[in-house]
Amino acid sequence: MTPLLEARDVVKHYGDVQALNGVTVTVREDEFVSIIGPNGAGKTTLVNVLTGLLRPSSGRVTFKGRDVAGVGPVRLAGLGMARSFQLVNVFPGLTVAETLAVPTLARCGRGGRPFASLGRDADVREGVAEMAALFGLTDKLGRPARTLPQGDKKLLDVASAFALRPELILMDEPTSGVSTHDKTAIMETLVHAAKRIGVKAIIQVEHDMDIVFGYSDRIVALHQGRVLADGPPDAIRADDRVVATVIGRLR
């Protein structure tokens, strides 16, 4: 079966610095893949390459068999890949409903004035209401996004990516900056939402090893721009190199 997403022999240079060195990663349908590694391992660069923000210096990136290297996140969203960010990107001047309306409008192919559409357009209103219900934000739709607690801001950021109804979603540190209790609640919510709307695969970059081992089907460990290990949680936990080089530095 053709992988849903594949990076093959990817190299990325920033001037004289080599951030990625021959990285190969595949993601298939029905997989939850976590990317781990210490600071400077190449995680952010790999994510930016996978989501089209950066073009690799060499190598190939394909999504559903199509070469997507450097095409940009807007085109990738149209093809069925979406991304949420480590730093919450909610629009502080918008309400929760208006924030969810922006990606819903894009998915519905509406142009013009998004907030006017929120009032008039049944498809947009239904899309906003559905995402709000899935992520526990229904009673907060009228609140300015900036007033939400951090955990709800995280949920809103992820919900905005889910509102595009992607086949594959990539989440950058979806639980960073929130309490241990909220981390589990966020993960349970997003996994449930992914099943409900038919997301085919999830990739996350995550430092919390409890979250990584609790939710992943496969774990990719990066170190110094290379793939140190790629396998199921039990194999990664039993790999002394990964424990010493990556996991020990992340705990």
Per CATH, domain 5-86+167-250 is 3.40.50.300: yes
Parts of the chain with a pLDDT under 70: 85-91, 108-120, 251
Domain ranges of the chain: 5-86+167-250, 91-147
Give the per-residue pLDDT at 173: 86
Give the per-residue pLDDT at 90: 58
CA separation for the pair 54, 43 (Å, rounded): 13
* Integer angstrom CA distances of residue 70 from 36, 40, 85, 128: 23, 22, 18, 30
Give the per-residue pLDDT at 113: 54
Residue indicated by tokens 């996140």: 73
10-41 confidence digits (pLDDT tens): 999 998 899 999 999 999 999 999 999 998 89
Task: Tokens for 112, please give them.
Answer: 């013009």
Give the per-residue pLDDT at 153: 87
Q: Which residues contact 32 (CB under 8 A, 6 or more apart)?
A: 191, 201, 202, 204, 215, 216, 217, 218
Give the per-residue pLDDT at 87: 44
* Closest to 76 (Cα-Cα) out of 87, 88, 64: 64
Strand 31-36 versus strand 58-63 pairing type: unpaired
153-174 confidence digits (pLDDT tens): 888 988 998 998 999 999 988 8
Give the per-residue pLDDT at 221: 96
Give the per-residue pLDDT at 121: 72
Q: Contact at 8 Å (CB) between 161 and 174? A: no
* Closest to 157 (Cα-Cα) out of 137, 184, 185: 137
pTM, entire model:
0.89
Q: Which residues contact 217 (CB under 8 A, 6 or more apart)?
A: 30, 31, 32, 33, 232
Query: Across-strand partners of 36?
Result: 221
